[in-house]
Amino acid sequence: LNRFLVRRLMDLSKSVNWARDARIKVLTEVLHAVRLVKMLAWEDRVEAMVAAARGEELGLIARLKLFDVANGMVWQGVPAVLPLLTFGVYVLLGGRLDP
């Protein structure tokens, strides 16, 4: 389970970096051609392009954080649940717990 989560976290991290690079590339192009954008009144079109790139990036970041939380829950939850599970199986198999 941990291997799956870590592998997925790595893949999502690479995807976030790719999306961030794409957004920065769009912003860089816009900043270099800001006079042209203003002259041709392309502000709305450029804003839509930047918003689309940012939306994709934010979606990937949300998925990355979701898997990060799941990984944290595994690391924090398993040590707390494991003793309960162990004693539960012991009692179900007929063992007796004495104080």
Render pLDDT for 34-66 as a digit per residue (tens, 0 to 9): 999 999 999 999 999 999 999 999 999 999 999
* DSSP structure string for 60-79: HHHHHHHHHHHHHHHHHHHH
Q: Which pTM does this prediction carry? A: 0.73
List the structure tokens of 3: 């291997």
Closest CA to 70 of 60, 58, 81, 78: 78
Domain assignment of residue 11, yes or no: yes
Please name the residues in contact with 2: beta carbons below 8 A apart, sequence gap of 6 or more: 71, 74, 75
Domain assignment of residue 18, yes or no: yes
Domain assignment of residue 97, yes or no: no
Domain assignment of residue 99, yes or no: no
Domain assignment of residue 39, yes or no: yes
Total domains, the chain: 1
Domain that holds residue 15: 2-92
Position 5: which residue type?
L
> 2-17: b or e for each residue (b if 16 or more CB lie within 10 Å)?
eeebeebbeebeebbe
